[in-house]
Amino acid sequence: MNAIISASELANELASGHPPVLLDVRWQLTAKGSAPFDGRAAYEAGHIPGAVFVDLDAELAGPPGARGRHPLPDVAEFGAAMRRAGVSADTPVVTYDGGQGWAAARAWWLLRWTGHPSVRVLDGGLGAWEGPLDTEIPRPEPGTFEPVPGAMGLLDAGGAAALARTGLLLDARAAERYRGDVEPIDPVGGHIPGAVSAPTTENVAEDGRLLPAEELAARFKSLGASATYEIGVYCGSGVSAAHEVLALAVAGIPAALYAGSWSEWSSDASRPVATGPEAG
């Protein structure tokens, strides 16, 4: 099944007799000291009709700490949140956000990792939607989804370090954060030694949609992706990396997510840090 859906395809499915469950996951990364983005307020001001708001920080992540800024949520709590949103295993799910795609991809990855068989991301997010918006807050019937982790690849810090040596570990953050030139969020700049810089922002076109599958495949091949290598992805806290895993999936390339990402890696001073433009 394709991991993305176009706005026109979504409109057709919503008008059918069997619409997908629609999750609005609006969220934005903010720098230290900045006011947090209020995704719920944006949702309440207007959302795709029938969409249910999902809070990334509260429902798609656990409390920040040594495991990172957005560690994986407790599986039971995540399942309960998805059931509240109306998610069942036998009903397709579509996730979307404000257009960047990162938060929607985090929801996609978590649902796929916990075994949901049919999840897609709205390509281009809300910016691609040409239909009406609604301010009515839906009250969906509770779903029946029971999460069973393990359907997608997952790395811990040790696994990410090993993969950087034996396979291909991609760093989905901006290149300047990878090099260590700046670090606006985490306390230490740089990258995991051996990781290759691959900003996920370069996987999208100017209109916010993902590049065509063949262009994505060519890009990842140029970065070293090969059928003989295992591939992993990390970012700052496991959110934008989920978007790169999504882009890899569209290109037909399976990849594992290092969920703790740089915010977990850099929290332990004993872990090595590389800087500069090379993998190190």
Average pLDDT over residues 114-138: 97
pLDDT at 279: 87
Q: How confident is the model at residue 227 (pLDDT cuts 50, 70, 90)?
A: confident
Average pLDDT over residues 214-232: 95
Domains of the chain and any CATH numbers: 4-128 (3.40.250.10), 154-265 (3.40.250.10)
Residue of 229 and 96 predicted with greater confidence: 96
Those residues whose C-beta lies under 8 Å from the C-beta of residue 178, and which sit 6 or more positions away, are 171, 190, 191, 195, 197, 199
5 pLDDT exceeds 90?
yes
Average per-residue pLDDT in the chain? 96
Q: How confident is the model at residue 35 (pLDDT cuts 50, 70, 90)?
A: confident
32 pLDDT exceeds 70?
no
Average pLDDT over residues 4-11: 98
33 pLDDT exceeds 70?
no
26 pLDDT exceeds 70?
yes
Average pLDDT over residues 125-152: 97
pLDDT at 226: 87
Average pLDDT over residues 260-265: 98
For residues 145 and 87, is the Cβ–Cβ distance under 8 A? yes
Average pLDDT over residues 61-84: 97
Q: Tell me which residues are annotated as active site.
A: 235
Average pLDDT over residues 14-35: 87
1 pLDDT exceeds 80?
no
Q: Is 139 exposed, middle or buried (0-12, 13-18, 19+ CB in 10 A)?
A: exposed
Average pLDDT over residues 24-30: 90
